[in-house]
Structures are given as C-alpha cells and as structure tokens.
Amino acid sequence: MTPGDLQRPGWRHEPARPLAGTAVAGGQPLAVASITGVCSLLSCVLDTDVPSIRPEDRTYVAAEMTAFLCAWLSSLPCPVLNRPSPSCLCGPPWGPERWLHAAVQAALPARAAPRRETTAVTVVGHRAFGAAAAAQCELALRLAEFSGVPLLRVLLAGPASAPVVAGADVWVDVQGDGVADAISDLLLEAP
C-alpha cells in the first residue's frame, strides 16, 4: 500500500465498525477483515506523494491522508509494526534526547554520543541484528520492550561488552541481513 492507493475509490472506514471496512492496496480493494498483519514503513504522507493534486492543495491533502492512516492503522486488531502515533505512522517520532529519556526511565545506561561513535542494533520483536556482543543485544531489546516499539533501531555507544544507549529511531533498514525475514516471522507468529 502506498499513498497512491489513497487516491482510488474503495476506501471505506467506519471507526465504530473497522472490520466491516475496505482498504485499497496495490490498486485493488481489500476487505479489512482479511488483513492479518501490517508493517508500516511510512512516517507520513508528503506533498510530493500526491503529485496529481493541485499544488496549492497538496499540503492539506497530505495531512488529511496522514491523519486518516493514523486512525485506520490504529483501528486494526491485527499486529501493526509499529503502531502509529498521530505524528508518525511507523511509531513514536522521538528525537535522540527523548529516547535517552526513555532509557533513563527504564533504568538503562544512557548518555549522548556523536553518531560516528555509535553502533546501530536493529530490533525486530525479540530478535536483534547488528550487535557485536550479547550485552548490546540485551540493551537494545530492553529499550524496545520498555518503549513498546517492536521495530526499532537502537544506537549504542561505549565498549561492546558494556554499552550505553545513545539514541534510537524507528527508521529500520528492512534490507539488512535477516531483518525482513524476522519481520515476516513476527507477523506470522502473532496470535
């Protein structure tokens, strides 16, 4: 599903009856009740995503589409990775300091560090990718679990055996080794 699918007849969403609705994906209508999992990789709809709209209306239309997708994704009873927030369709739009704060709240070691001095560990549910040591895996998984964000890129600083959280974001590289398969497994194993 892309922003272009929001410009096709067929969308029908009643918040009081979300499973009775229809969506459009890949240009085709899709019964919402048939959707068993969603992986959201879009933070918002941009003006550039709606080139068929008059230039003066693009910002408004993009904002409307983003707001709609937030409501629609939130209404789905199936797993949605990650659950949207009103200001980001693929999870919390937190900056580095907000993630550091989350780490402190979770009683995890944390400090700011230059990006070049960090290692990125990608969390997919209960699995972590890109870590050089078990301590990095554990720290990244604990931050993701505490934050309730199953798809997360955690930036770690310090030695691999004694890492600290230096930041995080929801911009997961799904093309990284094993990441796409792990996402697929996570969606398929969900009850």
Region from 59-67, 121-129, 139-147, 172-180 binding other proteins, contact rule CB under 8 A: 59-67
Q: Which stretch binds other proteins (CB under 8 A): 14-22, 135-143, 145-153, 170-178?
A: 14-22
Among 4, 85, 106, 142, binds other proteins (CB under 8 A): 85
Which residue stretch of 30-38, 81-89, 131-139, 141-149 sits at the interface with other proteins (rule: CB under 8 A)? 81-89
Checking 170-179 for CB contacts under 8 A at 24+ apart, the result is 170/43, 170/82, 170/88, 170/90, 170/91, 170/92, 170/93, 172/41, 172/122, 172/124, 173/122, 174/39, 174/41, 176/122, 176/129, 176/130, 177/129, 178/127, 178/129, 179/122, 179/124, 179/129
Q: How far is the CB of 146 from other proteins (least distance, A)?
A: 14
Alpha carbons 112 and 119: distance in angstroms, whole number: 13
Q: Which parts of 47-163 are beta strand (E)?
A: 80-81, 119-124, 127-129, 151-157
Q: Which CB, 43 or 74, lies closer to other proteins?
A: 74
Is residue 66 within the footprint of other proteins (CB under 8 A)? yes
Query: Could you tell me the smallest distance in angstroms from the CB atom of residue 157 to other proteins?
Result: 11
Which amino acid is it at 35? I
Closer to other proteins by Cβ: residue 71 or 160: 71
Residue 10 in the binding site for other proteins (CB under 8 A): yes
Residues that bind other proteins (CB under 8 A): 6-16, 22, 24, 52-53, 60-61, 63-68, 70-72, 74-75, 85-87, 92, 95, 97-98, 100-101, 103-104, 110-112
